[in-house]
Structure 1
């Protein structure tokens, strides 16, 4: 039987502080998004990732990977975004099983309307309470956790990944993305 590596007092305090902080931040952001724009944070993140992609389009599998989501969960979310007219799905001409998600003009407008309140909430809950050094330490710690938990699955640079080759008539003009928080 393996020996249990119990947390020492300092590690226990760190774990509990991390758990409490993440719950409080996510609750605050989710509440603001729901009240101000009627969309969950998850949908906002998907819209942002699409807005940052060339032609505002990503292969569904790439979008799932970048959002750290399962394919089935992403498919369900994109179906809801389609119902709102914010995203359009299309099939891949070279791969019958492949599909693309494209941010529509209506989706871009919804994203642009939601972005100011979202960014202000993120700023107030995460950045304002921290010094620049603490912000840097938080980013480094978060990147280390992501690298350990999802190696190669999520681009650390914010790059959303390349869109698979599409016919020129299927590619929308690039748009400026709102700042993601």
Structure 2
């Protein structure tokens, strides 16, 4: 038997809803993007992070961390994006063991074109369903949870 205190009814409802959201939301966002833009959610997040980075480039280890992907998964995604001319991967000059991913003009165009679709999906599937007065507090709380998971 666990020494942990059982969840209250409200905590249990929150926990179960959160589990449902963590499974269903990425799938729905991915479907919306893929259907409208041809990009997967993972590809969009990689391109978005590169578009926001200094010089539109990141070391692969930093990109993996920013996207919460494993080293092998980020390599596969970046290789696929490179094959489509959206990213260039090269050796990192400061460390011969590492690589850097750089967003190409084509990749920037793709992420800019996909942004309105992703924004509409985020609004429709989450933001517009929330009480606007609680969004700032929820953001702080989920950031605290995310920080502990990182």
With normalisation by structure 2, the TM-score equals 0.91
Equivalent runs, 1:1-181 vs 2, <5 Å: 3-150=3-150
Residue 97 of structure 2 aligns to a residue whose secondary structure is coil
Per-residue deviation, residues 29-70 of structure 1 (Å, max 9, x unmatched): 111011011111111011001001111111111111111221
- Alpha-carbon distance in 2 for matches of 1:74, 1:18: 26
Aligned residues: 150
Residue 108 of structure 1 aligns to a residue whose secondary structure is helix
- Which residue is equivalent to 1:158? none
More contact order relative to length (CA 8 Å, sep ≥ 6):
1
How much has 1:103 moved relative to structure 2? 0.3
- Alpha-carbon distance in 2 for matches of 1:23, 1:57: 30
Unmatched 5+ stretches in structure 1: 151-181
How much has 1:25 moved relative to structure 2? 2.6
- Alpha-carbon distance in 1 for matches of 2:2, 2:120: 47
Instruction: Kindly indicate which of the two structures has a greater share of residues assigned to strand.
Output: 2
How much has 1:144 moved relative to structure 2? 1.3
How much has 1:24 moved relative to structure 2? 3.5
With normalisation by structure 1, the TM-score equals 0.76
Residue 97 of structure 1 aligns to a residue whose secondary structure is strand
